Amino acid sequence: MSRRLFSVLAVGGAALMLVPAALAVGVHVRVEGKTRTIFGSTEPTLTVKANALDALDSASLAGEFYYHVANSGFGPYVDQIGRYVAGGSSGWVFKVNGVSPPVGADRVTLGDGDRVLWYWATFGPTGGPPTLTLRRSTRRDCYRVIAQDDNGKSTPGRGARLHVDRRSVLARTGSVCVGRHRGLVTATLKGAVRSNAVR
Ligand code: B12
């Protein structure tokens, strides 16, 4: 084989090998069920092929949980995650970076660092429930709860409860210090989807 042909093949081969890695993205994924977190309370980064449906698939692989996709007029529809099947006005919905996309999950292409949340929700006349995000504040042992609506509009999670080490602390204003603790901190608020967990 000539040296030139060899180098062309080598470069071509390297490019081919790069294709799958270049297409995949690193995405934070969490799945919140009806009564408990199904996957990724701390929003781990997973390698995801391309879109929000692929993100669920990667989580299912990492967490060994079941999900089912049905075909509908609008395209692929996730009608079950874990134990619960969608029905009536309840079922499985997703957000990307806090916003609920108005299209199916296979249509939402993800980028590195995106945050995908799949969750069980009951929709009413005003849309779905707010989702909670918990952030550490700059002060030691203090946290901030953010509630986001379907459009990603953020408001303080007033009245949320923070749970840590088998105790719970009320965040009247949405922000609170929980004192020294060992475990992860999470937040809940009536009518909202539980938060991520933070150290
Ligand atoms: C009820 C409803 C829901 C319920 C479904 C509960 C159930 N029983 O399964 C819940 C709240 C779970 C839901 C979820 C979502 N929905 Co919806 N939903 C509707 C609504 C209001 C009525 C559908 C219906 O009952 N039709 C009557 C029955 C007889 O017909 P059907 O074909 O059997 O209906 C089924 C499918 O529509 C399916 N379905 C519901 N939503 C969606 C969304 C997509 C993308 C797909 C592929 C299928 C699907 O569930 C229905 C019941 O089984 C429609 C609006 C409308 N007026 O059509 C929006 C609508 C279909 N939903 C929409 C969207 C965007 C979503 C979500 C992608 C939102 C999100 N960001 O998560 C998710 C789906 C994610 C997933 N799981 O894959 C859009 C679809 C737009 C598009 N061009 O893709 C619509 C048109 C609303 C809108 N105008 O934006 N939805």
Residues 130-146: what's their mean pLDDT?
97
Q: Are 117 and 152 in contact (CB under 8 A)?
A: no
Same domain? For 199 and 133 the reply is yes
Same domain? For 44 and 94 the reply is yes
Residues 83-105: what's their mean pLDDT?
98
Percent of the chain with pLDDT over 90: 87
Q: Structure tokens of 192?
A: 């909202």
pLDDT single digits (tens) 176-192? 999 999 999 999 999 99
Same domain? For 153 and 124 the reply is no
Kindly give the distance from the C-alpha atom of residue 74 to the centroid of ligand 1, in angstroms, as a whole number. Answer: 8
Kindly give the distance from the C-alpha atom of residue 187 to the centroid of ligand 1, in angstroms, as a whole number. Answer: 28
**Domain boundary, last residue among 72, 101, 128:** 128
| pLDDT score at 9 | 42
pLDDT single digits (tens) 45-81? 999 999 999 999 999 999 999 999 999 899 999 999 9
Same domain? For 34 and 89 the reply is yes
Q: What is the CATH number of the domain that holds 110?
A: 2.170.130.30
pLDDT single digits (tens) 113-129? 999 999 999 999 999 99
Confidence of residue 82 (pLDDT cuts 50, 70, 90): very high
**CA separation for the pair 176, 99 (Å, rounded):** 25
Kindly give the distance from the C-alpha atom of residue 165 to the centroid of ligand 1, in angstroms, as a whole number. Answer: 39
Same domain? For 97 and 154 the reply is no
What pTM did the predictor assign? 0.92
In whole numbers, what is the pLDDT of the chain averaged over residues?
Answer: 92
**Domain boundary, last residue among 113, 128, 143:** 128
For residue 88 and ligand 1, the question of a CB distance below 6 A is answered with yes
Atom 75 in ligand 1: residue holding the nearest Cα: 93
Closest CA to 120 of 6, 15, 17, 31: 31
Same domain? For 151 and 196 the reply is yes
In this structure, the number of other CB atoms found within 10 A of the CB of residue 49 comes to 15
For residue 73 and ligand 1, the question of a CB distance below 6 A is answered with yes
Kindly give the distance from the C-alpha atom of residue 195 to the centroid of ligand 1, in angstroms, as a whole number. Answer: 24
Same domain? For 117 and 65 the reply is yes
Atom 3 in ligand 1: residue holding the nearest Cα: 89
Kindly give the distance from the C-alpha atom of residue 160 to the centroid of ligand 1, in angstroms, as a whole number. Answer: 29
Contacts of 48 (CB under 8 A, 6+ apart): 24, 25, 26, 27, 29, 54, 55, 58, 110, 116
For residue 117 and ligand 1, the question of a CB distance below 6 A is answered with no
Full residue range of the structural domain in which residue 7 is found: 1-128
| pLDDT score at 23 | 80
Query: Domain total for the chain?
Result: 2
| pLDDT score at 176 | 98
pLDDT single digits (tens) 4-48? 444 444 444 444 444 455 689 999 999 999 999 999 999 999 999
